[in-house]
Amino acid sequence: MDSEADANKAGLSKQTLIVETAFRLFKQNGFYATGVDMIMQEAGISKRTLYKYFRTKGELIVAVLAYYRASYQSHMATVIDPNNRPARDNLLAIFDDAKTWFGDAQFHGCLAVNAMGEFSGKDHAIEDACTDFKRWEIEVLQGLTQQINPNKADELAYKLFVLLEGMSAIALVTKGDYPVDMTAMAAELIDRYC
């Protein structure tokens, strides 16, 4: 039909190619340390094309954070089985998944947290993308804790969120080697709300 359809037929539109390449590089090297030249060379596209789809590097970063959220969302869909499994098991599955997720030697921290570290107080659109991401993370937990204890769903969700964020931050330092079983810790917490 049109050229975009052909590009999709080849697997990727230019725009998603740019976003996915930038996503990988931002994870590896951070945001400031990753120049647009590096992104453009790694994606095999010209600088003009990059600036056609994204007017500034900041816009690209926001798009990458949205992509990060979307890809994490679809990953979550494979971790959570909403119908045929108790909410407790789904929550613990999240923690088990996080353990392998954070334990990857290539893991350099949550991209949204890192973006906050680099742009907090400097770029409002990026800040918003990060808070949106974290808000969604909490909502996923709330959807599950709602099935466990409707009266204290938010409270439990938030406590579990603290655990997950703590795991993520510590993984950077301990190289994903947790001296305590975090899934068990989450289970203990959940069971006090049943």
Partner DNA sequence: GACAAAGTAAACAGATCGGTTTACATTTTT
Partner DNA sequence: AAAAATGTAAACCGATCTGTTTACTTTGTC
Q: Residue 11 binds which entry of a copy of itself, DNA, none, with Cβ cut-offs from 5 to 8 Å by kind?
A: none
Q: Provide the angle, in degrees to the nearest 10, between the axes of the packed helices 153-174 and 111-119.
A: 80
Length of the chain: 194
Q: Does residue 191 bind DNA (CB under 7 A)? A: no
Q: Does residue 46 bind DNA (CB under 7 A)? A: yes
Q: Does residue 30 bind DNA (CB under 7 A)? A: no
- Residue 36, classified by CB atoms within 10 Å of its CB into exposed (0-12), middle (13-18) or buried (19+), is middle
**Closest separation in Å from C-beta 18 to DNA:** 10
Helices in the chain by DSSP H: which ranges? Answer: 3-9, 14-29, 36-43, 47-53, 57-79, 87-103, 111-119, 124-148, 153-174, 182-191
Q: Does residue 66 bind a copy of itself (CB under 8 A)? A: no
Q: Does residue 126 bind a copy of itself (CB under 8 A)? A: no
Q: Does residue 194 bind a copy of itself (CB under 8 A)? A: no
Q: Residue 182 binds which entry of a copy of itself, DNA, none, with Cβ cut-offs from 5 to 8 Å by kind?
A: a copy of itself
**Closest separation in Å from C-beta 13 to DNA:** 7
Q: Residue 116 binds which entry of a copy of itself, DNA, none, with Cβ cut-offs from 5 to 8 Å by kind?
A: a copy of itself
At 49, is the secondary structure helix, strand, or coil? helix
Q: Does residue 45 bind DNA (CB under 7 A)? A: yes
Pick the closest to residue 63 from 9, 13, 108 (CA basis).
13
Site string for a copy of itself, 144-173 (x = CB under 8 A): ----------xx--xx-xxxxxxxxxx-xx
Measured CA to CA, the distance from residue 120 to residue 128 in angstroms comes to: 10
Do 55 and 62 touch, CB atoms closer than 8 A? no
User: Using CB under 7 A as the criterion, which residues of the chain lie in contact with DNA when the complex forms?
Assistant: 1-3, 6-7, 14, 32, 34-38, 44-49, 51-52, 55-58
